[in-house]
Amino acid sequence: MWFRIEMNKDGSVLKAEHVEAKLTGGGRFVVYVDAETKESAIASAVSRYQRYLEKQRTDKKARVDARKNSGRCVDCGRPGVLGRVRCQRCAERLNAYRQRGRGRPHELPAPIPAGSRSQRAIILAEVMDQALALRAGVAFLSWLRNELEHARSAYGKVAAE
């Protein structure tokens, strides 16, 4: 008997169903298993997928180690910069990725002192800083400036009352 097993990337089973015959084009996380029972088909598919993930990890580690030992970039395989593990292009790409805030440990925002500015004005100011750093479009920046001015003036009117 053939079973069609659908799995998530983490290896958990989404669906397991009996099919009449093995079909082609199962897809990335669909496995066809020849087994006696549904439970044995699921166990077989999960163990096969775990072996696949382990092979991917070991292959990647071997590829990175081989590239390091030969002086090539660990990401793309091009000749690396002397004394570094990445070529100039990949190093610049990684630095840009990290500067956008990804790849860093999460930093908690500073606490907002009571009565300083409205929450909306603070958030809009933070968005403005990020938009300027990312060189956002002119239309977005002008809209953001207008919203920020409105938030600051509205807060001033409420505080004065």
The tens-digit pLDDT sequence of the chain (161 residues) is 677 777 777 777 777 777 766 555 555 567 777 788 888 888 888 888 888 888 989 999 999 999 989 888 998 888 888 888 888 888 888 888 777 765 554 454 555 455 556 677 778 788 888 888 777 788 888 888 888 887 777 655 544 44
Q: What is the structure's pLDDT at 142? A: 83
- Show me where the domains of the chain are located: 2-65, 71-99, 119-160
The span from the CA of 57 to the CA of 49, in Å, is 12
Q: What is the structure's pLDDT at 161? A: 46
Q: What is the structure's pLDDT at 98? A: 78
The span from the CA of 60 to the CA of 157, in Å, is 60
Smallest CA-to-CA distance from 5 within 20, 19, 17 is with 17
Q: What is the structure's pLDDT at 110? A: 52
Smallest CA-to-CA distance from 30 within 7, 56, 55 is with 7
Q: What is the structure's pLDDT at 29? A: 64
Smallest CA-to-CA distance from 115 within 152, 145, 159, 85 is with 159
Q: What is the structure's pLDDT at 22? A: 59
